[in-house]
Amino acid sequence: MKTIAPLAAGLGLATGLGFQPFGLWWATILGFAGFVALLNHIGPRRGFFLGYVYGLGFFAMTVSYVKNFGWWAPVLLVAFLALWGGLAGWATTWTVTRGPGWLARWYPIVAACAWTGTEWLAQRVPFGGFCWARFVYTVADQPLGGLLPVLGAGGVSFLVALTGSLVAMLVTSPKLRQKAGALIIIVALLLTGGLLRLRPVPIGDATVSVGMIQGNVDSTAGAFSMGYFRSVTAMHLSETIVALANWRISGTPVPSMLTWPENSTDTDPTSDEATRDMVTQASNLAGVPMLIGIISLGPGDDERQTTALWWLPGEGPVARVNKRNLAPFGERVPMYSILRNLVPMTQMVGRQSVPGTGSGNIAATIGGRPVVIGDIICYELAYDKTVYETVRGAGLITVQSSNVSFIGTWQPEEQWAITRVRAMETRRWMVVTTTASLSGLIDPKGHVADVSVPYTGTFRLYDVPLGSGVTPGMLIGPWLEGGVSLLAALGVLLGLVRRIGLKRQQGAKS
Digit-coded pLDDT (tens) for 5-45: 999 999 999 999 999 999 999 999 999 999 999 998 899 99
Give yes or no: residues 85 and 234 share one domain.
Answer: no
CATH of the domain at 253: 3.60.110.10
Give the DSSP per-residue string, 211-235: EEEE----GGG-TT--SSTTHHHHH
- Tens of pLDDT, residue by residue over 56-69, are 999 999 998 887 76
Residues 188 and 213 grouped into a single domain? no
> What pLDDT sits at residue 452?
96
How far apart, in Å, do the first and last CA atoms of the chain sit?
35
Are residues 195 and 212 part of one domain?
no
- Pairing relationship of beta strands 361-366 and 369-377 according to DSSP bridges: antiparallel
Same structural domain, 169 and 139: yes
d(CA 75, CA 8): 18
Residues sharing a CB contact under 8 Å with residue 210, sequence separation 6 or more, in sequence order: 255, 256, 257, 258, 259, 396, 398, 431, 461, 462, 463, 464
* DSSP output for 94-149: HHHHHS-HHHHTTHHHHHHHHHHHHHHHHTTTTTT---TT-GGGG-TTSGGGGGHH
Q: What range does the domain containing 113 cover?
A: 4-200+474-509
pLDDT reported for residue 300 = 81
At residue 218, what are phi and psi to the nearest 5 degrees?
A: -80, 90
Alpha carbon distance 448, 426 (integer Å): 15
Residues 66-103: pLDDT tens digits?
A: 877 677 778 888 999 999 999 999 999 999 888 888 88
Residues 238 and 377 in one domain: yes
Q: What is the pLDDT of residue 345?
A: 54
**To the nearest 10°, the Cα dihedral for 253, 257, 262, 267?**
100
Residues 389 and 362 in one domain: yes
Burial 116-142 (b: 16+ CB within 10 A, else e): bbbbbbbbeeeebbbbbbbbbbbbbeb
β-sheet bridge partners, residue 305: 296
- Same domain, residue pair 216 and 179: no
pTM: 0.94
pLDDT at 336: 52
The reply to whether 236 and 187 lie within a common domain is: no
pLDDT tens by residue, 367-403: 999 999 999 999 999 999 999 999 998 999 999 999 8
* Sign of CA pseudo-dihedral 8, 12, 13, 17: positive
Predicted local distance difference test score (pLDDT) of residue 69: 67
Q: What is the pLDDT of residue 72?
A: 74
Are 191 and 304 part of one and the same domain? no
Same domain, 303 and 351: yes
**Rounded Cα distance, 426 and 445, in Å:** 9
The pLDDT value recorded for residue 113 is: 97
Q: What is the pLDDT of residue 224?
A: 47
| 239-255 per-residue burial string, b: 16 or more CB within 10 A, e: under 16 | bbeebbeebeeeeeebb
Same domain, 329 and 414: yes
Total structural domains within the chain? 2
463 phi, psi to nearest 5 deg: -95, 105
CA neighbor of 364 nearest in space, from 283, 425, 289, 426: 289
Whether 167 and 275 map to the same domain: the answer is: no
CA atoms of 420 and 432, how far apart (whole Å): 10
pLDDT at position 507: 66
Which of 358, 356, 359, 372 has the alpha carbon at shortest distance from 257? Answer: 372
Q: Which residues contact 500 (CB under 8 A, 6 or more apart)?
A: none
Q: What average pLDDT does the chain have?
A: 90
pLDDT tens track, the chain, 510 positions: 567 899 999 999 999 999 999 999 999 999 999 999 999 889 999 999 999 999 999 999 999 888 776 777 788 889 999 999 999 999 999 998 888 888 888 888 899 999 999 999 999 988 788 889 999 999 999 999 999 999 999 999 999 999 999 999 999 888 898 899 999 999 999 999 999 999 988 887 899 999 999 999 876 655 444 567 788 999 999 999 999 999 999 999 999 999 999 999 988 999 999 999 999 999 999 999 999 999 998 888 878 899 999 999 999 999 999 999 888 766 766 655 554 555 555 555 567 778 888 889 999 999 999 999 999 999 999 999 999 999 998 999 999 999 888 888 899 999 999 999 999 999 999 999 999 999 999 999 999 999 999 989 999 999 999 999 999 999 999 999 999 999 999 999 988 888 787 677 776 666
pLDDT of residue 431: 98
